[in-house]
Amino acid sequence: MHFLTQKIEFPDVSEATAEGLLAVGGDLSTERLLHAYAYGIFPWFEDEEPLLWWSPDPRFVLFPKDLKVSKSMLQILKKDLFKVTINKNFESVIEQCSITKREGQRGTWITDDMKAAYIRLHRLGYAKSIEVWQDNELVGGLYGVDLENNVFCGESMFAKVSNASKVGFIHFVQNSNYNLIDCQIYTKHLESLGARHIPRQDFLKYL
User: How do the domains of the chain map onto residue ranges?
Assistant: 2-54, 59-205
So what's the pLDDT on residue 40?
97
Euclidean distance between CA atoms 145 and 153, whole angstroms? 5
Written out in words, the top-level CATH class of the domain with range 59-205 is alpha beta
Residue segments in the chain with a per-residue pLDDT below the cut of 50: 104-107
So what's the pLDDT on residue 71?
95
Helix and strand numbers (H, E) in the chain are 7, 11
So what's the pLDDT on residue 105?
47
Q: What is the pLDDT of residues 158-201, one digit of tens each?
A: 999 999 999 999 999 999 999 999 999 999 999 999 999 999 99
Euclidean distance between CA atoms 82 and 96, whole angstroms? 18
So what's the pLDDT on residue 121?
98
Euclidean distance between CA atoms 35 and 104, whole angstroms? 30
- Decide which of 3.30.565.10, 1.10.3720.10, 3.30.70.3550, 3.40.50.300 is the CATH code for 2-54: 3.30.70.3550
Euclidean distance between CA atoms 186 and 6, whole angstroms? 31
Give pTM, 2 decimals.
Answer: 0.92
Can you give the C-alpha Rg of the chain in angstroms?
17
So what's the pLDDT on residue 66?
97
Fold match, 2-54 / 59-205:
no
